[in-house]
Every structure is written in structure tokens, then in C-alpha cells.
Structure 1
């Protein structure tokens, strides 16, 4: 159910909040938001070997996120600024090794929200949610080898480097990290 926040901006139903952010779930109406995020080649150059995503690929990604939420109660949840209602990006989880209760952590922000601490804020909330609400055993994460910002983010969040492994969508070896509950600060 949509609501109006204290500034009069229409906001979305949320299930998780931080000081500045609200977490929602993707819906069919979010195609423009998905296109704004995954249609930006400055964002997708870090996650796609082509350096961009077509409209069909964006549509498939959105459908995949919605299906994952229905089936597994996780996705890379869309993020919104609490005061303005502006879309910031997404942060969340997807299955990695489900039988061992290990999920992959990820965050993608729109370019105009880079460098403002949103990724760290959202990441801390998702990590807490994963261990406190979903009873995960560990989180996995990786990043494009040339993305130093993502590397620093994962280190700030407390992830520990394990090894480089091939990441098919980007077509490169990616540094890979793990986070266990004892890493929570």
C-alpha cells in the first residue's frame, strides 16, 4: 500500500528502513526505474560483459527479481530516499548456495547517488536482515576487478576476500568475498 511521507511525497510500502532509505520490492510498475538503473552503461559496465543491458535484458532482470521475491523472499530490493521518495538503486540478496544457506549480496545504485554513503548504509541493513530475519549462514559477494569502489565497500562492510573466480555475466575473474555472522560489527 502506498503512503504519504512527512514531506507529502507519496511513498511505497516498505519492509526495511535505514536512517535515509526505504526498502521496497520490485513490481511491474517499476519498469522505468529498472531502465533508469540497468539501462545506464556507467552502472552496467561493472556487471555485463557487453557493458550495457538491452531493454529485453532489463525486462528479464526485473522479471527475475520479482520471481525470486515470490519464490525465495529475496531480491535486490529497490531503494528509495525516505524524504523525497526518489529511487536510489537496489540492494539485496539472491541465492548462491541455498542448501548451505549462503546468499549472494549485491548493490547497484543510480549514478547520481554514487559517493553519498547509500551503498554502505543499505549494505549494513541487508546484512543485519539476512542474519536476523532469514537465518543465513554466510553471505557471498564479488566485484568487477577494476571496480575499486566496490572493493572498498565490501571491506568496510566486513567481507573477507577468499579468491578470484569467473563471473559469467561480466566475462571476467572477479575477486570474491565471504561474510559470516561473527563478522558483524
Structure 2
């Protein structure tokens, strides 16, 4: 939880609100947040998805994993699938992601996916947040094996 929101678990009311928002996103936008399940243990180990960020009014990639599953490639694998879904199925023009400036592990994941730093601003809790972006054009060029500059 160190790098998620204000580092505190959501209250029951916040969880209920999040579920309503997520269900509405599935219905109206065609995307939302998805569970990451360990295929061997069949346990829930985290989440990954696309959400509409009210903060920046853009589509944003989000993910989090239980600490015991960090550094095993799960976040990269799930995020790569969500980015592909966003561009190839939903036909999004860009996807953003936001991280705590101290979260170097997430920054590395975003860079591996092709995201680039775009700006820093305070989040809804007043904490500095770094925003990254990948465009569909860049995604398509990288997947075609061409080096490009945005």
C-alpha cells in the first residue's frame, strides 16, 4: 500500500463506490479493473486495469500486486496485456499511468512498456505524482519493430 493512494486501505463505503464506478465503466466504456490470479495457486494476487482518471481526465493504466508477488513479472505481463487491449481492441489514442516519484519499480515497468514521462502534479491527496503516457502511434511503431521518436 506504500505507493497506492494515501497508503491506507479503502473504507467499506469507498470500496462500494469503487465497485459501482467500475461496473459502470465496464458498461459504458468497455473497460475496467481486472483481478490478477496466480495460475498455480488460483489465488488473487493483485489487480490491473484501465480506468478513467478524473484527476487528469484521461484513460489510465493501474495495477497493484501483493508484496510477495513483486519482481516476478506479473505486473509487466498484466500491464502489457492491458495496454494491448486498450490500443488493439478499444482503439484508444493514448494511455496514461501515474506513480509515486519514489516508486522506481513501477517506473521501470512503464518504461519497458514504452511509456514516457510527461508531467508531475499533486494527486487528490496532495502527494506529488509522476504521469507517464504511451500513444497508439508509438505503440504501433514499436510493435512493428521500428524505432520512433514522439
TM-score > 0.5, shorter chain as reference:
yes
Find runs of 4+ consecutive structure 1 residues off by over 6 angstroms.
Answer: none
Q: 1:110 Cα shift? A: 1.9
Asked if the contact 2:99–2:129 (Cα under 8 Å) also holds between the matched residues in 1, the reply is: yes
Q: How does 1:1-185 map to 2 (within 5 A)?
A: 43=1, 45-49=2-6, 51-96=8-53, 102-168=58-124, 170-184=125-139, 185=142
CA distance in 2, matches of 1:58, 1:112: 23
Residues matched between the structures, number: 138
Asked if the contact 1:119–1:153 (Cα under 8 Å) also holds between the matched residues in 2, the reply is: yes
Higher relative contact order (CA 8 A, sep 6+): 1
CA distance in 1, matches of 2:7, 2:71: 25
Give structure 2 stretches of 5+ with no counterpart.
143-150
Asked if the contact 1:96–1:140 (Cα under 8 Å) also holds between the matched residues in 2, the reply is: no
Q: 1:148 Cα shift? A: 1.5
Q: 1:173 Cα shift? A: 1.8
Q: 1:50 Cα shift? A: 5.6
- TM-score scaled by length of structure 1: 0.67
- TM-score scaled by length of structure 2: 0.81
> Cα RMSD between the aligned structures?
2.1
CA distance in 1, matches of 2:7, 2:87: 34
Secondary structure class of the residue paired with 2:41:
coil
Relative to structure 2, which stretch is displaced further, 81-90 or 125-134?
81-90
CA distance in 2, matches of 1:116, 1:73: 29
- Go from structure 1 to structure 2 and tell me whether the alpha carbon gap of 1:95 and 1:48 turns closer, same or farther (over 3 Å shift): closer
CA distance in 2, matches of 1:85, 1:66: 23
